[in-house]
Structures are given as structure tokens and as C-alpha cells.
């Protein structure tokens, strides 16, 4: 077996084919870790607009992948789903609280909303959220609502058992819950 070694041309870098219309120069914008993607995209768009007039004749900058529309649609979809979830939860809890005293219905509504607000206040304002974290928040709110329903229902069942066993209202509900 024998082999021949010879020098060939260099690989072409930075040149790509765009829409089958010929070669173009490509570039990629890399965002720093922790930056807000929408702010970076808006900054790039404004910079491109500011340098358009200084480009040579026939040269133009054509974005081929712009995440801003995807991000905006995802946030809008998440907002819509959170509103729908809130309405369904409110209707379900209202229906559930009709069978219970007014205080129980209040607890069903107040506990998850207070917990959500307090959690959001604890988040550092410099952190940006992504689609996964927003989806996680939506799931967590649903889990909190489920937990509130279960806890209040359990408390009412415990009070009912106490009334059946002792024939009276408990003097101290906290002492009975222990």
C-alpha cells in the first residue's frame, strides 16, 4: 500500500449559502451569560439601523434568525395560560368553597396568591427568566393551589371528626391539629 500526500486549498470559513441565491458572509451574535435576550436583540437591531447608511453600495445586513418573535409569542402564550389557569382555579375554588364556610373559601384563594407574591418578591431583580423558568412557575402555582385545597379539606375533615367524637366545637383548633 502506498499513499500520496499533497497540500490542498484552505477550508473556506465565514461564507455560507443563503436561500440558494449565492454565497454570503455569515456572522453570529453571542450573548453574554445572564443578559436579557430581548434587550440584546433590540440593541443589535438599533446598531444595524445606525450603520446601514455607512455600508458600501449593494451590501446589506440580513438577519436570518431572530429570536425576539419566538420569545414574545412564548411570553404571550404563558401569560394567556396563567390567566386561564387562574380563572379555572378561581371557579373551582369558588364552587368548592360554597360547600364550606366563608373562611375556608378565603383560605383557598388567599394562601396560593400570597405565597406566589412573597416568592416573587424574594427573586433577585437582576435575574432574567427564560421559558423553562416561567413554565416552572406556572406548574408551581398549580401545585400550591392543589396543596391549599388538600390542607383546607383535611382541616375540615378533622374538625368534623372532632365534632362527631366529642359532640361539641373544639376550644382550640391548633391544639386539635397537633
Q: Report pLDDT digits (tens) over 71-98.
A: 888 878 877 877 777 777 667 666 655 5
Q: Check residues 93 and 155 and name the one with the higher pLDDT.
A: 155
Q: Check residues 133 and 33 and name the one with the higher pLDDT.
A: 33
Confidence bin at 149 (pLDDT 50/70/90): confident
Whether 93 and 108 have beta carbons less than 8 Å apart is answered as yes
The per-residue pLDDT for 50 is: 94
List 23's β-bridge partners, or say none: 17
Q: Please provide residue 16's backbone torsions phi and psi, each rounded to the nearest 5 degrees.
A: -140, 170
The per-residue pLDDT for 96 is: 57
Average confidence (pLDDT) over 163-174: 74
The per-residue pLDDT for 140 is: 78
CB < 8 Å & 24+ apart, contacts of 133-142: 134/74, 134/75, 134/78, 135/78, 138/78, 138/81, 138/82, 138/85, 141/82, 141/85, 141/112, 141/116, 142/85, 142/89
The per-residue pLDDT for 101 is: 56
The per-residue pLDDT for 75 is: 79
Average confidence (pLDDT) over 163-178: 68
Average confidence (pLDDT) over 94-103: 57
Residue 21, pLDDT above cutoff 70? yes
Q: Under the phi-then-psi rule, with left for phi > 0, alpha for psi from -120 to 50, and beta for the rest, what region is 20?
A: left
Q: What's the mean per-residue pLDDT of the chain?
A: 76
List 105's β-bridge partners, or say none: none
C-alpha 129/C-alpha 135 separation (Å) is 10
The per-residue pLDDT for 51 is: 92
The per-residue pLDDT for 173 is: 52
Average confidence (pLDDT) over 64-74: 86
Amino acid at each position: 500500500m502506498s499513499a500520496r500526500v499533497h497540500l490542498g486549498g484552505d477550508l473556506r470559513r465565514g461564507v455560507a449559502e443563503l436561500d440558494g441565491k449565492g454565497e454570503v458572509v455569515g456572522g453570529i451574535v453571542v450573548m453574554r451569560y445572564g443578559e436579557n435576550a430581548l434587550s440584546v436583540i433590540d440593541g443589535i437591531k438599533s446598531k444595524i439601523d445606525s450603520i446601514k447608511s455607512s455600508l458600501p453600495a449593494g451590501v446589506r445586513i440580513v438577519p436570518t434568525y431572530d429570536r425576539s418573535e419566538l420569545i414574545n409569542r412564548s411570553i404571550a402564550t404563558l401569560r394567556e395560560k396563567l390567566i386561564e389557569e387562574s380563572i379555572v382555579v378561581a371557579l373551582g375554588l369558588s364552587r368548592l368553597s360554597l360547600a364550606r364556610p366563608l373562611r375556608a373559601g378565603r383560605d383557598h384563594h388567599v394562601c396560593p396568591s400570597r405565597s406566589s407574591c412573597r416568592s416573587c418578591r424574594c427573586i433577585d431583580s437582576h435575574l432574567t427568566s427564560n421559558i423553562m423558568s416561567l413554565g416552572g412557575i406556572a406548574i408551581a402555582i398549580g401545585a400550591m393551589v392543589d396543596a391549599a385545597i388538600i390542607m383546607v379539606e383535611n382541616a375540615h375533615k378533622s374538625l368534623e371528626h372532632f365534632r362527631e367524637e366529642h359532640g361539641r366545637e373544639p376550644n382550640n383548633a391548633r391544639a386539635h391539629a397537633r
